DNA sequence: GTCAAGAATCTGTGATCTCAGAATTGGACA
DNA sequence: TGTCCAATTCTGAGATCACAGATTCTTGAC
């Protein structure tokens, strides 16, 4: 993961709690429909209720959790409509972001991308979905963060935060086969400094997810 | 303003505080570079520190305020880079959103749009920048919210939240002349159910803002 | 008159406490 | 054995308290 910009509010308890929860969401360690409790998380993370509450308030603002009526805070259940909404938002932002970023990816970053891609391959061979999702996140954001556009990156991060729990369900249901080719194509496009090709690779990556809901409707989350 | 989907966490103190602060941001009643204090706001809004803290945590997650290192929470100062970043994000989302929404705008909504447009005209005549910004917000989101895409709307709202303070500065500096024609064009496009025309009108609206930073660099906020 | 050092104040952060309401569980009755 | 109701438990929301650090103001010396 290794947050690249390193939150300015470092050393704060709330920040580390938020980072931990964020990691869980992006790597799909929380299931859609699950309910979280401030007290439970506080106990688990050995902090008081307060930092957890503020972290959850942030996550609620980012759409990762919902304050369901009263007395219940849940990670939103998976819906075909919401899944498609998210994917179409990703389509609107990420291909363009990647295409614009390609000019700013230097040799060092490309090397790191290759290393992460290798780790992705390992995770896929081991069938470790959590590791795959963590590395996949790292791969994409190594590309996007080459751009100095904090607002755009923040928007995309919001999407991934909401997307993580869904992806885990999807991977658990359909497996992780043939997921690596898009990364190969992306790496080639970056090597060639080919923005349009990278755009197509990222778009294809997103469309892969889209195709999954074409054949299956989602009804529940847990 | 009148939040259309009416936050599910209604009746909560934190929600009303967040709504109030949100309103201030969108209508430009806070200046870039200003610092806010939880205690001050709590005193002003006649609530305890707690709801303010959580509301500010949400606003921080939405990028409307920054937790500057320690002991200071500020609304981000205006930068040419950030201004452009925001505008380009708006360009990526809002024209498409409007074009897609045009099919879902029924007669009732169009009537409300016309009414709001009239109020915009009044505000412009009176030179009431705050009222103009509030009605302008309402106008745009009456269009976007015709879509049932909560995630997309949430993203755009985040952008407006960050954008509000900047726009107020821009309007204060350059006035609000000739701002109404885009809305006329938009209304015509909606009447004709012409998605591409509405897309062009919204894009032109955003580009208007973009043109302002072409000739002027921003250095400070206050 | 100027500058620096120290004190007082103000700020965010975290902990603890209380309360109201929802959910769950238990038992009792049919 | 199944169903329904009540009581207990558990949850989030809000208020209050305590603390550390930064800022600012004041005061003293040079």
Residue pLDDT, tens place only, A136-170:
999 999 999 999 999 999 999 999 999 999 988 88
Percent with pLDDT over 90 in chain A: 67
Task: Tell me the ipTM for this assembly.
Answer: 0.89
Contact A67 B8 (CB under 8 A): yes
User: What mean pLDDT comes out for the span A15-28?
Assistant: 94
- Give the pLDDT confidence score for residue B180 in this predicted structure: 63
What is the interface size between A and B, counted as CB pairs within 8 Å? 89
B113: its two tokens? 């749009």
Chain A residues with CB-CB distance to B53 below 8 A: 54
Name the band, by pLDDT with cuts 50, 70 and 90, for residue A214: low
How many CA atoms, within 13 angstroms, populate the side-chain half-sphere of residue A192? 12
Helices (H), B8-128: 13-26, 38-45, 49-61, 80-101, 107-126
Tell me which residue has tokens 């305020």.
Answer: B65
Name the band, by pLDDT with cuts 50, 70 and 90, for residue A176: low
Chain B residues with CB-CB distance to A63 below 8 A: 151, 154
- Give the pLDDT confidence score for residue B45 in this predicted structure: 92
DSSP-based helix, strand, coil % in chain A, nearest 5: 70, 5, 30
Mutation for B interface: A88, A101, A155, most B CBs within 10 A? A155
Percent with pLDDT over 70 in chain A: 87
CA distances from A50 to A11, A54, A106, B51 (A): 16, 6, 42, 12
Q: Spell out the residues 6+ positions from residue A188 whose beta carbon is closer than 8 angstroms to its own.
A: A194, A197
Nearest CA-CA distance, residue B70 and chain A, Å: 7
- In whole angstroms, C12 C1' to A218 CA is 43
CATH architecture of B80-215: Up-down Bundle (1.20)
Q: Compute the distance between CA of residue B108 and CA of residue B48 in angstroms, rounded to an integer.
A: 41
- Give the pLDDT confidence score for residue A213 in this predicted structure: 63
Longest dimension (CA), chain A: 53
Q: Compute the distance between CA of residue A66 and CA of residue A74 in angstroms, rounded to an integer.
A: 5
- Closest nucleotide to B70's CA, by C1' atom? C12
Chain B residues with CB-CB distance to A69 below 8 A: 8-9
Nearest CA-CA distance, residue A143 and chain B, Å: 17
- Give the pLDDT confidence score for residue A180 in this predicted structure: 63
Chain B residues with CB-CB distance to A85 below 8 A: 149-152
More confident residue, A207 or B93: B93
Footprint of strand C on the protein (CB under 7 A): A 9, 12-14, 47-51, 54, 69-72; B 36-40, 49-50, 53, 67, 70-73
Mean pLDDT of chain A: 87
Lowest mean pLDDT segment, chosen from A87-91, A181-185, B49-53: A181-185
Closest partner residue to B82 (CB to CB) among A9, A61, A151 is A151
Chain B residues with CB-CB distance to A25 below 8 A: none
Contact A61 B58 (CB under 8 A): yes
Mutation for A interface: B9, B57, B59, B95, most A CBs within 10 A? B57
Nearest CA-CA distance, residue A38 and chain B, Å: 14
CATH architecture of A13-74: Orthogonal Bundle (1.10)
Closest-CA residue of B relative to A96 is B92
Q: Which residues of chain B have pLDDT under 70?
A: 1-11, 69, 176-181, 213-222
- In whole angstroms, C25 C1' to A40 CA is 20
More confident residue, A105 or B6: A105
Name the band, by pLDDT with cuts 50, 70 and 90, for residue A186: very high
Phi, psi of A107 (to 5 degrees): -60, -40
- State the DSSP code for B78: P
Tens of pLDDT along B31-52? 999 999 999 999 999 999 999 9
Whether the predicted pLDDT of A127 surpasses 60: yes
User: What mean pLDDT comes out for the span A174-198?
Assistant: 85
Whether the predicted pLDDT of A75 surpasses 90: yes
- Give the pLDDT confidence score for residue A134 in this predicted structure: 94
**Strand arrangement of the beta sheet that strand A66-67 belongs to:** A35-36, A73-74, A66-67
Contact A155 B155 (CB under 8 A): yes
- Give the pLDDT confidence score for residue A221 in this predicted structure: 38
- Give the pLDDT confidence score for residue A4 in this predicted structure: 41
The domain limits of chain B are 13-74, 80-215
More confident residue, A178 or B193: B193
Name the band, by pLDDT with cuts 50, 70 and 90, for residue A124: confident
Nearest CA-CA distance, residue A193 and chain B, Å: 22
């Amino acid at each position: 993961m290794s947050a690249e910009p390193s939150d300015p509010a470092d050393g704060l308890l709330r920040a580390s709690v938020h980072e931990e929860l964020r990691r869980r969401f992006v790597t799909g360690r929380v299931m859609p429909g699950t309910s979280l409790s401030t007290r439970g998380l506080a106990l688990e993370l050995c902090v008081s209720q307060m930092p957890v509450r503020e972290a959850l308030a942030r996550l609620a603002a980012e759409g990762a959790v919902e304050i369901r009526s009263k007395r219940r805070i849940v990670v939103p259940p998976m819906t075909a409509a919401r899944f498609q909404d998210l994917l179409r938002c990703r389509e609107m932002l990420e291909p363009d972001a990647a295409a614009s970023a390609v000019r700013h990816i230097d040799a060092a970053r490309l090397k790191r991308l290759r290393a992460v891609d290798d780790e992705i391959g390992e995770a896929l061979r081991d069938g470790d979905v959590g590791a795959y999702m963590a590395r996949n996140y790292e791969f994409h954001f190594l590309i996007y963060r080459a751009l100095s556009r904090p607002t755009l990156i923040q928007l995309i991060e919001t999407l991934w935060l909401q997307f993580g729990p869904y992806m885990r369900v999807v991977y658990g249901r359909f497996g992780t086969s043939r997921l690596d080719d898009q990364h190969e194509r992306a790496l080639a496009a970056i090597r060639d400094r080919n923005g349009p090709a990278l755009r197509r690779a990222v778009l294809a990556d997103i469309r892969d997810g889209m195709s999954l809901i074409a054949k299956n409707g989602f009804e529940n989350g847990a």
